[in-house]
Structure 1
């Protein structure tokens, strides 16, 4: 199978369809030029996708774990076989370097390999009974139809991390990709079609920015959707969470972060600098105004500090930043390093924990006792100790506080898409 052309139609119930809302443009962020136009799906299109997923669920849920594992492995292989083509598409609509895009495709494929293996390990348990006349066990069963809303910054990786677990658990999916990056999601749909994923098990419903709220509301409020998984901003995540209350569906949220990066006196500076580069300077963002405000408040620009044309912003180093400045309290989402001095371990840990977010935290130290103290004290879901790259299919990804709910990846990733059922036998 080879992806030779851009796919622009929605994928619903095994068919490639135009959107009832016409089309919307997808732009190259490097040049601002239009790449192509993609199907603009309406609520009516979405309802058909939900119905297709619901119908497919009735049979998909009963497939054996071996059957699901075989298909997930086929998706993994197809992603790798088409790595260069998908990476090119990703670069065109997202703007990240080609090497980074190719790495993201491989990262996406790793989740299908992982959950192909984990689907065969959805173990229940036997519970010792206090009564001689009872036997108690637990089993795991799929939740149902999963709504998957993916972000623009890692458009194939975040899709894969969610969909691989959902399919492995026995759920079907309706995917709403970010309006800036729908093309790789549609390429993924083609991959699924090519390897024989049954009709309706995977559906991709792109839409323009003007329809996002309507589509999001329907996914939250539809009684035929049983779990909503979203990666994106904290503000949007809270809005989706509140809308899901009417149907009491499960919600998995991977939201904004404000990750501290702490360098203690005992740290190896070369290692710390390398870690800074891999975890803090990987994608782009819109932050020109926030940097100007910080400089006006008294910070100094050591390097960078200006746009480089289009949507690109120069890597920027700021000193003289204080904890009360906006840049220190908000998610930057761009290549800016604000430096804040500290004197004691207690001071910097307290500063790191003042934010209402808690996705990840990083620190560098060669003091063994300090390593344990700080790793346990940081109020985040993931901690990198002398390491800047945390995410891998084998480990749980997710945050504390306003950074979200639930875990993705690892053996715990299946829990989001399954229900634990207790069965009591009278004997």
Structure 2
């Protein structure tokens, strides 16, 4: 029996809330009977609990998804599109309730939680259209009397291993593409953010999506590695999609290699943000403020290394400090809050270590650099570090915290070399009004996505994914995202007679 908790917010529709895993048409406990607590990062208080599923719970979930796949694969693209659009309508209606849940799971301010919901809904809308645009081909080969044609078919049951920083967006981006293709899915949400995924499953049920098409297995931090491995290695899982760290992504790839599973990996960022002296300073600062401090810096595509040309470096640093000082730290549910807590306490320890390392090696702390001790929760001061160098930890590691690290450069060639001097390649950003330089940067920066006079560049219609050790495969965008859940089958026909 689940322990009773005091939910610290009111919902317009309390019946949305479920605290057990979703398998088929049932809400189920773990076979172990164990549960884990869901904490509010803004107070460090538990407000719910969910099943701590183990490897013993994997077969039922996967077999349920496989049974559903045998029927779901036969549905028409039009029907799948209708289900996605109905789900879109229901998530839209529940947007304010979901925003409250996301805020109390992740800590992000309500305004940002609402922004995530708007962003997330784009995936359901987009993939409802993509469902009917899956096409094969017909061609005439060199051999006489033959025709070659291809058909696209859903690959099978997919597993989605989802992070905590955008818990609704990552579920809908993955499930939307899978459903459009005709695949079913088992979602393993992060231990920090299981409730929002369970609400999405409830809304999918209300949308008429058949039982077993979307299954959600919750688990705690301790069981996450073994449960994820079991999903990756289950013979009925044909595709795995993972968003998270490069270190864990390599483990996921190795698990999937044993079964030659198709894998999409969206991994670490360490993204450079380059500002040239001919840039619009206001534009570069506006975009940086939105990108850097969103969700307290906990986004894979946030600006991790900020390179500013020498001619405007001091002016840029002073303006960034002035704007950052206006941020309001507080609980995400407070309408005045513009910077919420970190989602996990271990993120604070990492932030402190990075600041101390930079300070020891000669960086200047322009502001911040400390844990906030005046309130409960996992708060860290917005921090600006100046005079950063390549020897410092932040140069090689994602911060995933509210730390803006400023580096100085002189020439375009130097900026590109510094920006590319990382094993990762998810996103890069560049601000300049030189159109020739814009094009050179697009081609020379080693990243899967390049923002040109643009900060936040992620959208349902835009292919999302990196290169180098930031992973492979694409999520969202025209054609490419759905293709990740399809196999191409080739038919060759010999035609007798004359035309």
**How far, CA to CA, are the matches of 2:460 and 2:76 in structure 1?**
23
Q: Give the distance between the partners of 2:98 and 2:26, measured in 1 at CA.
A: 21
CA contact (8 A) 1:75 1:109 kept: no
Query: Is 1:262 the counterpart of 2:274 in the alignment?
Result: yes
Q: Which of 425, 431, 434 is matched with 1:364 structurally?
A: 431
Which residue of structure 1 aligns with residue 471 of structure 2? Answer: 404
- CA-atom RMSD in angstroms: 1.1
Rounded to whole Å, the distance in 1 between the matches of 2:173 and 2:17 is 23
CA distance in 1, matches of 2:355, 2:193: 26
Q: Residues of 1 paired with 2:119 and 2:440: CA distance?
A: 32
- Report if aligned partners of 2:198, 2:216 keep a CA contact under 8 Å in 1: yes
Q: How does 1:291-310 map to 2 (within 5 A)?
A: 291-309=355-373, 310=377
Residue 39 of structure 1 corresponds to 51
Query: What is the match of residue 16 of structure 1?
Result: 27
**2:399 alignment counterpart:** 332
Change (3 A) 1:333 1:222: same
Q: Which residue is equivalent to 1:341?
A: 408
Partner of residue 383, structure 2: 316
How do 1:367-386 residues align onto structure 2 when only pairs under 5 Å count?
367-386=434-453
Partner SS, residue 260 of structure 1: strand
Alignment of 1:407-426 (within 5 A): 407-411=474-478, 412-426=480-494
Q: Does 1:137 align with 2:136?
A: no
In structure 2, what is the Cα distance between the partners aligned to 1:128 and 1:410?
A: 30
Alpha-carbon separation, structure 1, partners of 2:100 and 2:475: 26
**TM-score, normalising length from structure 2?**
0.84
2:456 match: 389
| CA deviation after TM superposition for structure 1 residue 228, in Å | 0.4
* TM, length-normalised to structure 1: 0.98
Deviation, 1:4, is 3.7
- CA apart distance, 1:49: 0.4
Contact 1:30 1:95 (8 Å CA) reproduced: yes
Decide whether the 8 Å contact of 1:3 with 1:82 is kept in 2. no
2:264 corresponding residue in structure 1: 252
1:242 to 2:306 alignment: no
Match status 1:177 vs 2:189: yes
Q: Tell me the CA shift for residue 120 of structure 1.
A: 0.4
Does the Cα contact within 8 Å between 2:140 and 2:146 map onto a contact in 1?
Answer: no
Aligned mates of 1:3, 1:245 — CA distance in 2? 43
Distance across 2 between alignment mates of 1:8 and 1:227: 27
Alignment check: 8 A CA contact 2:16 2:199 kept: no
- Which position in structure 1 is the counterpart of 2:236? 224
- Report the CA distance between 1:3 and its aligned residue: 4.6
My pick for the range that moved more, 210-219 or 359-368, is 210-219
**Distance of 2:14 and 2:124 partners within structure 1:** 19
Question: 1-side partners of 2:368 and 2:362: how far apart?
Answer: 16
Match of 2:418, SS?
Answer: helix
Task: Choose from 275, 283, 288 the match for 2:352.
Answer: 288
Task: Give me the whole-angstrom Cα distance separating, in 1, the residues matched to 2:416 and 2:64.
Answer: 49
CA separation of 1:3 and 1:122: change in aligned 2, threshold 3 A: farther
Aligned residues: 427
Secondary structure of 1:340's aligned partner: strand
- 1:5 positional shift: 5.2
CA distance in 2, matches of 1:298, 1:198: 59
2:112–2:295 Cα contact (<8 Å) kept: no
Q: Which residue among 191, 204, 207 is the counterpart of 1:192?
A: 204
| Equivalences for residues 92-111 of structure 1 within 5 A | 92-111=104-123
What is the distance in 2 between the residues matched to 1:328 and 1:311? 24
List 4+ stretches of structure 1 deviating above 4 A.
none
Of the three residues 203, 210, 213, the one matched with 1:201 is 213
Q: Is the 8 A contact 2:425 2:467 kept in 1?
A: yes
Q: Distance in 2 between matches of 1:327 and 1:40?
A: 34
| Ranges in structure 1 where 5+ consecutive residues have no aligned partner | none
Q: What CA deviation, in whole Å up to 9, does each residue of 1:302-342 have, x standing for no partner?
A: 11111224312111111111012111111111111111111
Contact 1:4–1:85 (8 Å) recurs in 2: no
Shift of 1:47: 1.2
Offset at residue 299 of structure 1 (A) = 0.4
| Structure 2 partner of 1:80 | 92
SS at match of 1:151: coil
Distance in 1 between residues matched to 2:61 and 2:15, nearest whole Å? 26
Name the CA distance, whole Å, in 2 between partners of 1:98 and 1:198. 32
